[in-house]
Structures are given as structure tokens and as C-alpha cells.
A and B are shown apart, each in its own frame.
Chain A
């Protein structure tokens, strides 16, 4: 176990707590930079999706994890970013201009959504963001001169300084990595600045924050704007990765997936967004594997245990049928959400911290370290 000897007040707000982290994160970054030359194109493409989901996860972490304002409307911000990219590109604006412009535009929209949030909290805010997302979805479907309506919109390959960066190229991968690292650094820096402190104070207690002189209205709007702007940047990358965007891609279900990213990852640290993004993106390939491999595997085990070959074949077909049932993905998503909330409310990152602490304190680890205190429901009506 490492004891950190503090000699300076600045040590409390350093991004990397001690020199060991330089090594571990340096190695991680080196692996990610080397990844395109090591991995096949399929895994590289999956990694790009992980990056995009992680960027949205970081954005949502700032809003939900740090400021405590729940949002089920982030798919709409992603859509605004994506459509800005698509439209700007079609009228000949270069990437270097429309990328920041998309961020600014979604940021402004985010601030506008944040205004009603001043008077709302908890469940009302969730409902308001859902309503906002529905309205955006409908506008995208109807505003045909810009969005081409329900037919959807083709997005050409990204063009940076006259160099095309196709969706599968290494350069596009590095661009996504760069944006992800940038937004992670932004979030971490934000968290140690007065603004970030104010966000956390608002999350923990609005009343206490207000008494400490925090302008609730300004900081909530700021949090919404920053979160939306980062999501807008992710939207630009998303549009270029998909090469085709249409309103039905940005539904409530996508917003729920984004919330799942931070719940599964653990909604109390930027790490959580990354863990969650990896998990969510990997669910699909995992399900495919489940469909293809598990029935064969089970049948061969049954066969080797002395089951009659016909019975084993029947078992295999039955399992394959369950695996390819239409709604399996929804059921598994639902189960994952419920299981995480019931059994691991701190998410994957929380589990990682527990495992780490277990080995650090080896014989002395107490389970109660991470026990959540039971609270009792009190009315929010006169909170």
C-alpha cells in the first residue's frame, strides 16, 4: 500500500495523485495509440464506437454524475451535433469550422434546456428532458429542407485540411481518441476548478450550496451547456462514423443507453464513463457470440457427458432458437440495468475500486467500507 505524503496544498487538486499513475496511464495511452496497427479492422471500428460513447458518457457524467441533474434527452444533443455536421458539410463548410460550431450550437440549445431545469428537480427534470428529446426528434423528421426528413441524410467522409479521413481509417481513429482524451481532461480540470466544486455542491445539497453563495441558476445552466456541447462534438464524430443519419437513430432508447453507460460504469468518476462505454459497445458482439457459439458448446458438452446425439442436437436447436429470439437484446438490457442498480450501484468502476482496495489492505479489508447508508423516503414536495 502506498502512503501519499502531502507537502503542498496543490497536491489535493492534482490530476494524477502520484507518479505511479503517470506510468499506468502512459502505458494505456501507448497501447491505444498502437492499437490500429495491432487490431483488426472490426475491433478498431468497435473501439471508435467505444470512444464516441465514452465522450457522451463524460458529458453525461458532468451533468448527472457531478451536478446531479438527470437527463434522458442526450440523444437529442447528439442528433443536433450530427445534423449540424451533415448540413454544414453539404453546404461546403470545412470540418475545422463546423466541428466547433456544432459544439457551440448544441451548447446553446443545452443552455436553453437548462433554463426550465432551474425550477425543476428530480423526476420533473427527467420528464422535461424526455419531452425535449421528442420535440427534437419530430423537428428532425419534419424540417425536410435541412434534414431530409425520415429519408435520412448521407454524410460524406470527413475532410480535414484537404485530406479525406474515411470512417475506417487510422486517422479517424486518432481523431476520436484525441477528442475523447480532450474531453476527459476537460472534465477532470473542470472538477478541480471552482465551477466543478460548485457542481458537486449542487449535487450534494442545493440548499447548502445556495447558502454558501453558489448561484444555482448560473451553474445549472453552465452544466447543461458544457454537457450538451461535448455531446454535440460526439455527434459530429458519430455522423461521420455512421455515414448515414436519420431521426429514428436518435430515440429515447439511445438516451437510455447513454444513461446506462454511466450507471454501469459508476456515476461518480470519469473512469466510470469509459468502463460503461466499453461494456455497452461490447454487449452486441457478446450477444452475437451467444447466439452462435453457446448452443454448439452446450451441445458438445452434453454429448461428451453421454447424452444421445439426437437429444444433444435438439438441445442445440432449442438454445439457438432462444438466442435468436427477436427481443433478446431488450430483455438483456433490462436485466443489466436492474441487476446493476440492485447489486452494484457504484458500477464497474466501483467494483474495480473495491477489488483494488481488497488487495491493498489484504487481510484487513472490511466489506462495510463501501456500504451505502440506508435512508428513508421523505417527501420532495416540501424539501
Chain B
């Protein structure tokens, strides 16, 4: 029983990692109906930014964290301006391919600049563990769980209770109509890319002690975050968190109870089943076809 609970807890921690990355997908999808396949690579870049600030320049952890998040927000805005805006409105698949291309590019450029070794930084969460009875939870994982929950709550509130959030939802619904209503669509799209990149940077920084900083980390985790985002319904912020938790727990339990190999494909099997049974996800809006 204790084994089961320990696996459950580590699955929840893993799930929050996926949820945090899935959150980035969901934000951009929610505001512009674009799927950013380079989200994992933005996260990787955030990790390298924080390594540069903290590991190389020796800035304090929290200040470096802030710098990395701001830096990535600017980077996200620049990406939107250069890559996404010219092709917004063309078939969705060309934007998907463009972001895949961006991911390729960022991965190899990061490998060239920072090298291909595992890098690590000193963080306040690196060492300690939290013990509840016989359960053990490392502080670095705890920090991811807390951050994911807080970010989800804040962004959920932002989307549902602020004017800007409403403008973003309107933009995703119908861009032309949003223009007519006086919504600054360009600024909205630009802002959402900045927010999403900032979330990716948070993920990168918080994951630095767990996965280390490496140019391929984004590809691996980014692809695992897809099932999470789909499971939760691609446009739902709480859905990203719940989907991430489900995927994390399933992966963790499959690794413990099922033969080797199941751990890696279990998330994708769940994804395929979900797509067959309920393509709009757990929290997604129902899809209707109108003529």
C-alpha cells in the first residue's frame, strides 16, 4: 500500500511537470487556436537563460529567475512578431510546421551555444525533502507542484475575470469580429505569446534541478505534455493541470506495476483512447458542426 501511495505521489509530481508545460500549449491555443510545437523548446531555452544568469553570471536565484522569465517573455513576443504573425490565418498545419521548425532550430542553436552536456544550477530547492509519515517528497518536486497550482489559478482567473482575458477569448472565437469590436488583436496575440513563453521559462527553471538543463529536454517533455493537454481538453486551463496529473499518475503506476516498455507508451495509449471516446477532452467545449 505504501508503495502505491509513494508511486501516486511521485506520479502527481511528474504530472505537475507535464501540466506546467501543457499550460503553455493551452494558453496559446486558447487565445489564437494555434498549437505551439516548440513549447518544450521554449522551456529548454528558459532553463539555459537561468543557467546563464545564475550559473555563469552569479546572480541571486530569485533575481535570476525573474530575469529569465522576463527574457523569455520578450523572446516569445519576438517569435510571435517574426514567425507567427505573417502566417496567422493560414491553414493550421503550416503554423504547426513552422513551430516544429522553430523547435529544431532552437534545439541545435542552444546545443551550439551552451554545449551538449548536462548543466545544473544551485537552487534553494535542490537538497531538502519533505517527510509525511513514511512518504518522502523532495523539495524540488514540491516546488513544481506548488508553482503549477498557483500558475493555473492565476491564469484561470486572468482569463475569466479580466478584460484582457475576455478579449483573448473573443480573439480565439473569431479574429475579424474581435477587430470590429475594437479589441487590439495584434497586441492580444503578442501578449499571449509572451505569457506562454514566461510560463515555459518558469517550467524550465523549476525543472532545472530535476531533469538538469540539456538541449533535448524540451523535446522529450514537450511530447509527453501533448497527451496531457489533449486529455484535459485543449482549451482549458484547469484541464491542463488535471490532464497532466492523470498522465503523470498513469505513467508512474504503469512503470511500477506493468512490464517494461508500458511506461513509455501508456500516455499515448490513453491519448488515443481519449481521442476515440471524447475528442474534446475532459473539460473541452463540445464541438458542433454548423453549416
Q: Give the interface of A toward B (CB within 8 A).
A: 64, 70, 116, 119-120, 122-124, 126-128, 130-132, 134-135, 138-139, 141-142, 207, 211, 252, 256, 259, 263, 325-331, 333-338, 341-342, 345, 372, 374-383
The 8 residue pairs across chains A and B that have the minimum distance between CB atoms? A327-B108, A334-B105, A337-B101, A334-B104, A330-B108, A131-B268, A376-B176, A331-B108
Residue of A nearest to B110 (CB): A327
**A84: min CB distance to chain B, Å:** 21
Complex Cα spacing A345 to B227, Å: 29
Residue B161 lies at the interface, judged by CB distance under 8 Å to chain A: no
Q: 1/0 contact trace for B36-50 toward A, CB 8 Å?
A: 000000000000000
Contact of B98 among A70, A130, A142, A338 (CB under 8 A): A338
Nearest CB in chain A: distance from B88 CB, A? 6
Total number of residue pairs linking A and B with CB closer than 8 Å: 168
Closest chain A CB from B143 CB (angstroms): 29
Instruction: For the complex, give the distance between the alpha carbons of A378 and B104 in Å.
Output: 28
Q: Look across to chain B and name the residue whose beta carbon is closest to the beta carbon of A128.
A: B275
**A376: which B residues are within 8 A, CB to CB?**
89, 174-176, 179
Contact digits for B86-105, partner A, Cβ 8 Å, 1 yes 0 no: 11111011101110111111
Taking a contact as CB atoms closer than 8 A, the residue among A130, A131, A333, A378 that contacts B101 in the complex is A333
Q: A128-B271, A378-B174, A383-B289 are in contact. Are A335 and B105 (CB under 8 A)?
A: yes
Indicate if the CB atoms of A342 and B87 lie closer than 8 Å.
yes
Checking B104, B171, B268, B287 against A330 with a beta-carbon cut-off of 8 angstroms, the contacting residue is B104
In Å, the complex CA distance between A173 and B58 comes to: 60
Scan residues 242-274 of chain B and give those whose CB is less than 8 A from a CB of chain A: 260-261, 264-265, 268-269, 271-272
State which residues 221-246 of B face A: CB under 8 Å. Answer: 223, 226-227, 230, 234-235
- Within the complex, what minimum Cβ distance (angstroms) separates A322 from chain B? 8
Given contacts A127-B271, A326-B111, A331-B112, contact A207 B105 (CB under 8 A): no
Chain B residue numbers with a CB within 8 Å of A328 are: 108, 112
**B98 and chain A: residue at smallest CB distance:** A341
B116 at the interface (CB under 8 A from A): yes
User: B7 near A: Cβ within 8 Å?
Assistant: no
Residues of A within 8 A of B88 (CB): 377
Nearest-neighbor residue (CB-CB) of A133 within chain B: B268
Report the Cα distance A138→B262, complex, angstroms.
Answer: 9
The answer to whether A381 and B265 touch across the interface, beta carbons within 8 angstroms, is no
**Who on chain B is nearest to A341 by CB?**
B98
Contacts of A337 in B (CB 8 A): 97-98, 100-101, 104
The answer to whether B105 touches A330 (Cβ under 8 A) is yes
Which residues of chain B from 175 to 217 have a CB within 8 Å of any chain A CB? 175-176, 179, 215
Residues in B with CB closer than 8 Å to A381 are: 235, 285, 287
Residue in B93, B105, B116, B179 whose CB lies within 8 Å of A326: B116
Closest approach, in angstroms, between the C-beta of A132 and any C-beta of chain B?
A: 7
| Chain B residue nearest in CB terms to A330 | B108
Given A326-B111, A336-B101, A337-B104; A342-B89 close (CB under 8 Å)? no
B175 to chain A, nearest CB (A): 4
List 26 A-B pairs, Cβ < 8 Å: A119-B275, A119-B279, A122-B93, A123-B234, A124-B234, A127-B230, A128-B272, A130-B226, A131-B269, A135-B269, A138-B265, A326-B111, A327-B112, A327-B215, A330-B107, A331-B108, A331-B109, A334-B108, A337-B97, A338-B83, A338-B101, A341-B87, A341-B101, A378-B175, A379-B173, A382-B290
The interface residues of chain A lying within 8 Å CB-to-CB of B276 are 116, 119
A203: min CB distance to chain B, Å: 10
A263/B97 in contact, CB under 8 A: yes
Of chain B, the residue at the smallest CB distance from A338 is: B101
CB distance from B39 to the nearest CB of A (A): 13
Report the interface size class on chain B: 35 or more
Q: For residue B288, which residues in chain A have a CB less than 8 angstroms away from its CB?
A: 382
Question: How far does the alpha carbon of A126 sit from the alpha carbon of B94 in the complex, in Å?
Answer: 12
Most buried by B among A70, A130, A336, A379: A379
Residues of chain B lying within 8 A (CB to CB) of residue A334: 101-108
Provide the bound-state CA to CA distance between A132 and B88, in Å.
28
Provided the pairs A124-B279, A342-B98 are in contact, do residues A327 and B272 lie with their beta carbons within 8 angstroms?
A: no
From 135 to 189 in chain B, residues with beta carbon under 8 angstroms from any chain A beta carbon are: 171-176, 179
Q: Chain A contacts of B287 at CB under 8 A?
A: 380-383
Contact in complex: A374, B89 (CB < 8 Å): yes
Answer yes or no: B10 CB below 8 A from chain A CBs: no
Judge whether B272 and A131 touch: CB under 8 Å.
yes
Judge whether B289 and A327 touch: CB under 8 Å: no
Do the beta carbons of B35 and A123 come within 8 Å of each other?
yes
A138 and B248 alpha carbons, distance in the complex (Å): 19
Q: Determine the distance from Cα of A320 to Cα of B97 in the docked complex, in whole angstroms.
A: 30
A325 — which chain B residues lie within 8 A by C-beta? Answer: 112
CB-defined contacts of B102 to chain A, threshold 8 Å: 334, 338
B291 adjacent to chain A (CB < 8 Å): yes
Q: What residues of chain A lie closer than 8 Å to B227, measured between beta carbons?
A: 127, 131
Least CB distance, B133 to chain A, in whole angstroms: 36
Which residue from B104, B173, B268 sits with its C-beta under 8 Å from A333?
A: B104
Q: Which residues of B contact A119 (CB under 8 A)?
A: 275-276, 279
Taking CB as reference atom, which chain B residue is nearest A383?
B289
Of listed B102, B179, B265, residue having the most chain A CB within 10 A: B265
The answer to whether B93 and A126 have CB atoms under 8 Å apart is: yes
- Cα A252 to Cα B219 in complex, Å, equals 11
Chain B, Cβ-Cβ closest to A263: B97
The smallest C-beta distance from A349 to any residue of chain B, in angstroms, reads: 16
Shortest CB–CB separation between residue A122 and chain B, in angstroms?
Answer: 5
Give Cα distance in the complex from A158 to B171, angstroms. Answer: 57
- Chain B min CB distance to A202 (Å): 14
Minimum CB–CB distance for B60 against chain A, Å: 31
Bound: A256/B93 CA distance, A: 12
Residues of B within 8 A of A134 (CB): 223, 264-265, 268
